[in-house]
A and B are shown apart, each in its own frame.
Chain A
Amino acid sequence: MPPSNDLKDGGELRIIGFLCNWCSYSGADAAGVARLEQPTDLRIIRTPCTGRIDPLFILRALINGADGVLVSGCHPGDCHYVEGNFHARRRLETLKRILPISGIDPERFKYTWVSASESGRWQETVREFTAKIHALGPAPRMTDVVSRSKDLSLEGLLLQDENGGA
């Protein structure tokens, strides 16, 4: 499939999708069967449930160089395992709110709920998220060497030192 027209540049970025087997994966499958056109930057990993998704999966993907991570599962209340996505919701929200302190843009991580019948909504989700990641551009990498002369002062971060430089 050619890259979607709404993306200005031709280059693909790496977006990892963690999808629950019962809702979003089927939804994405249905979108494919219905030939709903989607950008191809997303690489999907199928999981039994969003509750199976350890927040570390997402962190590992982001630190290993993923430009974006999309998590999608059943709508809360519709979980195949009854409460998996309730647990996931708390974990994913916690992760999303902690991310900014690490300097990783929280916009690069999105979690959402798409059911098996919502193929149109899936197409829209993928298009929107891919466009957002393209707008953000490739993610900065930890592996790029940083000069040691960069400001490493710690004292400036302490409460008492008002004129600290950090």
Chain B
Amino acid sequence: MNVLETMKKCIREALPDLDMVMGWEQGFDTLHATPLFMETAEDVDRLILGPTCVQSLAVHLPSLKGKKIGVVVKGCDSRAVVQLLSENLLNRENLVIFGFGCDGVVSLSRLKKKLGALDFIESAEKKDDRLCIEINGEQQDLPFDDICAPKCLTCSRPNAIISDHFAGPQRTPRIPAKGKTALEKFEEKSLPERFDFWKAQMQRCVRCYACRDSCPMCVCRDHCVAVSRNPHFVSQEATASENFMFQLIHVMHLAGRCVSCGECERACPMDIPLGLLRAKSTEVTSALFNQEAGLDQEAVLPLLSFNIEEETIEEHD
């Protein structure tokens, strides 16, 4: 039995005790997956697993608190679940986690850059380390590393780190390719260059809040400080400075909580490299507090705790 069939079997067996199980189904073509909310056994038939299952379904979990929910998770999604559990935003007993070993997911924006347009894809299939797609009657065979999500290039946790049911084999984490990370490359720029970069990027930002809404750790929803009038941190003007303020709020609110799932960057319709800001925040909090988010259910948020003597912080007196 392959991974998908095993997963379907697990879900069918668990479904009678659950209100719903979240997974993915094929969207309007074979390259696009869309979230699938399974309530009956027939719904389970539509489930797919594979490189097109890009969305993190963990984002829906906090709003479904109180219901008995099953969720299918990749390695990166599972970290979000762990982090939500550690922050007491979910009840473990109401949650059934279906994990599997992820083999990387595609990045539609990288693929679009490669192919020019992604109108309708007749077929898309991953074969080892290549993606074979058929577009406008033409066969294209692309190296997967060229079109996968950036996070997959350095993925160290492809397997769900928490699960009640695990389908298929464990994947071995990939050895990160040699070369500088995006963050290291960006940090070679001088401060004024970086500022100009963000200034230009923030002029493109349309403040659609897709980055916030796709973020599994953004749980304030209607109480988001970015839209509240009291306190009024950000105005409704979509100017570069207001957009930047919003982005930096997101970064500060995720400091020590960001699970590096890359959903913000994926969801961005303007392809703004928001991952850089998150990557830096993760680097900083790991260095300061020796703690990575989404790995330990018992962990205490670093910015909600302190040591009387901080070893990593130079004393300022």
A contact residues vs B (CB 8 Å cutoff): 55-56, 59-60, 63-64, 75-77, 83, 86-87, 89-91, 93-95, 97-98, 100-105, 111-113, 140-144, 146-148, 150-152, 154-160, 162, 164, 166
A100, A101, A102, A111: most-surrounded residue (chain B CB, <10 A): A101
Interchain Cβ contacts under 8 Å between A and B, 6 examples: A98-B251, A100-B187, A140-B195, A150-B196, A157-B276, A166-B185
Do residues A143 and B241 form an inter-chain contact, with CB atoms below 8 A? yes
In chain B between 209 and 244, which residues have their CB closer than 8 angstroms to a CB of chain A? 225, 233, 239-241, 244
* Chain B residues in 8 Å Cβ range of A143: 239-241
What string of 1s and 0s marks CB contacts (under 8 Å) between B7-39 and chain A? 000000000000000000000000000000000
Q: Which 6 A-B pairs have the closest CB atoms?
A: A103-B195, A103-B194, A142-B241, A101-B280, A86-B306, A157-B182
* Chain B residues in 8 Å Cβ range of A90: 288-289, 302-303, 306, 310, 313
- Select from chain B the residue with minimum beta-carbon distance to A144: B199
Do residues A159 and B252 form an inter-chain contact, with CB atoms below 8 A? no
- Select from chain B the residue with minimum beta-carbon distance to A152: B200
- Select from chain A the residue with minimum beta-carbon distance to B202: A142
What string of 1s and 0s marks CB contacts (under 8 Å) between B248-292 and chain A? 110110011000000000000001010011001100110111000
Do residues A102 and B198 form an inter-chain contact, with CB atoms below 8 A? yes
Do residues A105 and B255 form an inter-chain contact, with CB atoms below 8 A? no
Do residues B271 and A89 form an inter-chain contact, with CB atoms below 8 A? no
Distance in Å: Cβ of A129 to nearest Cβ of chain B: 12
A59, A75, A148: most-surrounded residue (chain B CB, <10 A): A59
Distance in Å: Cβ of B48 to nearest Cβ of chain A: 26
User: In the complex where A59-B249, A111-B316 touch, is A102 in contact with B303 (Cβ < 8 A)?
Assistant: no
A55, A77, A91, A103: most-surrounded residue (chain B CB, <10 A): A103
Do residues B244 and A91 form an inter-chain contact, with CB atoms below 8 A? no
Q: Which listed residue (B150, B177, B249, B313) contacts A93, Cβ 8 A?
A: B313
Do residues A113 and B317 form an inter-chain contact, with CB atoms below 8 A? yes
Do residues B310 and A104 form an inter-chain contact, with CB atoms below 8 A? no
Do residues A160 and B153 form an inter-chain contact, with CB atoms below 8 A? yes
- Select from chain B the residue with minimum beta-carbon distance to A159: B153
Q: Is the interface of B mostly helix, strand, loop or mixed?
A: helix
Do residues A101 and B187 form an inter-chain contact, with CB atoms below 8 A? yes
* Chain B residues in 8 Å Cβ range of A55: 252
User: In the complex where A102-B195, A150-B196, A157-B273 touch, is A142 in contact with B240 (Cβ < 8 A)?
Assistant: yes
Task: Tell me, in angstroms, the Cα distance from A152 to B251 when the chains sit together.
Answer: 21
| Besides the known contacts A83-B306, A143-B240, A159-B153, 20 further A-B residue pairs in the complex with CB atoms under 8 A apart | A89-B306, A90-B289, A94-B285, A97-B288, A98-B280, A101-B194, A103-B192, A105-B191, A142-B199, A142-B239, A142-B240, A142-B241, A143-B239, A146-B203, A147-B200, A150-B200, A152-B201, A158-B182, A159-B176, A162-B179
Distance in Å: Cβ of B239 to nearest Cβ of chain A: 7
Do residues A103 and B197 form an inter-chain contact, with CB atoms below 8 A? yes
Q: Does B6 contact A (CB under 8 A)?
A: no
B contact residues vs A (CB 8 Å cutoff): 110, 113, 145-146, 150, 153-154, 176-177, 179-183, 185-187, 191-204, 225, 233, 239-241, 244-245, 248-249, 251-252, 255-256, 271, 273, 276-277, 280-281, 284-285, 287-289, 302-304, 306-308, 310, 313, 315-317
* Chain A residues in 8 Å Cβ range of B194: 100-103
Task: Tell me, in angstroms, the Cα distance from A148 to B110 when the chains sit together.
Answer: 21
- Select from chain A the residue with minimum beta-carbon distance to B181: A159
Distance in Å: Cβ of B150 to nearest Cβ of chain A: 5
Task: Tell me, in angstroms, the Cα distance from A111 to B317 when the chains sit together.
Answer: 10
Do residues A159 and B179 form an inter-chain contact, with CB atoms below 8 A? yes
Task: Tell me, in angstroms, the Cα distance from A154 to B144 when the chains sit together.
Answer: 18
Do residues B191 and A103 form an inter-chain contact, with CB atoms below 8 A? yes
- Select from chain B the residue with minimum beta-carbon distance to A121: B317
* Chain B residues in 8 Å Cβ range of A77: 308
Distance in Å: Cβ of A77 to nearest Cβ of chain B: 7
Task: Tell me, in angstroms, the Cα distance from A88 to B291 when the chains sit together.
Answer: 19
Do residues A95 and B252 form an inter-chain contact, with CB atoms below 8 A? yes
Do residues B200 and A160 form an inter-chain contact, with CB atoms below 8 A? no
* Chain A residues in 8 Å Cβ range of B113: 155
* Chain B residues in 8 Å Cβ range of A64: 241
Distance in Å: Cβ of B112 to nearest Cβ of chain A: 11
